[in-house]
Amino acid sequence: MNNKGYWWLFFVSVIISFFITFLLIAAIWFIANKKQIEFDLLLSEISTFWLVNASCIFICLYFIILHNTHKIYELIQKNPLYNNKIDNKTGINPLKSIINNLKFYNSKVEDELFKLNKLEKYRREYIGNVSHELKTPVFNIQGYISTLLEGGIDDKKISINFLEKADKNVDRMISIIDDLQTISLLETGELKLDFETFEINELIIEVIENENDNAGKNNIFIDFKKTNEIFVTADRNRIKQVLSNLILNSIKYGKQEGGKTILRIYELENYIKIEISDNGIGIDNKHLGRIFERFYRVDNSRSREKGGSGLGLSIVKHIIEAHRQKIEVISTPGSGTIFSFSLSKALE
């Protein structure tokens, strides 16, 4: 509490003292007139006693309140949440400052409790999802190995088939672990982006060539119309990862017959917009708000059948946000889905 605060309380106490004294004198004068007693005599006998007692009581209360107020204020100032801007707004009234600071702390505590509850719920879901995703390939591998140990290894055809399946599940586990590491580094900011200038058409064509085999196996045609040269500034490898994940996603959930994945580039003043659309199964509105969450799957059975870690879209979102850009999704069930994201154009 500053000196102004003390003077403010002192001033208030003096005013109250004068007010109490005035009330007592008025009461004595009224009694003297009523009883027809000499005013000076009654005043000397009664007022002296009560005034002295009232003053002593008020002074004692004043210092008790002042002392405790000062202690409370000191505790508030030591609190990590202490906000001196609140004191500046309340002027020289320390009691009002204490009340306002306590209200401020209460709102902060409520916010922190809400965040902690949300984080705890997220932690439980996250641990459950990770264990479930890893448990599936582990149990599969265990089943294949057990079959081989029980005599299946003697049959060359069975042993090769089961070893290939086990190898596929090992790859899935490695994919989950790699994706978990990537998303963890992105969320904590430990993964530094390597910005460079590159031509975006070339990168898209490179990614399409890598995914053409997957598209052919699923009867998906990838359509891309090259534009004029457009140079962007971004982390090339990470944007390649984004494009790969989104194209692979459109292939997995594309139409079984006559499926198509379309890529388009739209040039704006300082940005470009890349759009990846498909004519697949689409996503219901109730799922759209959660598809970028870790391990969230719209259709669990089909998602696991198609493989993947369940972290692809979450990684995509984190990479785009790390570039200080945003990703959007529009979908109509039965008609298809459109993902789009922006990138900064390179400065000329």
Query: Residues 256-275: pLDDT tens digits?
Result: 777 899 999 999 888 999 99
Query: Residues 68-86: pLDDT tens digits?
Result: 666 666 666 666 655 555 5
Same domain, 129 and 203: no
Does residue 96 lie in a domain region?
no
Interval 151-161 mean pLDDT: 81
| CA dist list (Å): 130 to 40, 87, 117, 312 | 91, 48, 20, 14
Question: Is the pTM above the cut of 0.85?
Answer: no
pLDDT band at 214 (very low <50, low <70, confident <90, very high): confident
Q: What backbone torsions phi and psi does residue 195 show, to the nearest 5 degrees?
A: -75, 140
Interval 188-212 mean pLDDT: 89
pLDDT at 328: 92
- Of residues 210 and 60, more confidence is placed in 210
For residue 40, pLDDT beyond 70:
no
Containing structural domain, residue 34: 3-78
pLDDT band at 334 (very low <50, low <70, confident <90, very high): confident
Task: Let me know how many helices (H) and strands (E) the chain has, helices first.
Answer: 11, 7
- Of residues 157 and 1, more confidence is placed in 157
End-to-end C-alpha distance for the chain, whole angstroms: 58
Same domain, 56 and 137: no
Residue ending a domain, choose from 138, 161, 188: 188
Same domain, 257 and 315: yes
Q: How many domains does the chain fold into? A: 3
pLDDT at 302: 47
Residue ending a domain, choose from 60, 78, 96: 78
Does residue 83 lie in a domain region?
no
Same domain, 335 and 201: yes
Query: Residues 275-288: pLDDT tens digits?
Result: 999 988 888 888 88
Interval 94-108 mean pLDDT: 69
Strand ranges inside the chain, DSSP E: 195-199, 220-224, 231-235, 259-267, 271-278, 327-332, 336-344
Same domain, 162 and 48: no
Same domain, 281 and 160: no
CB count, 10 Å around CB of 247?
A: 26
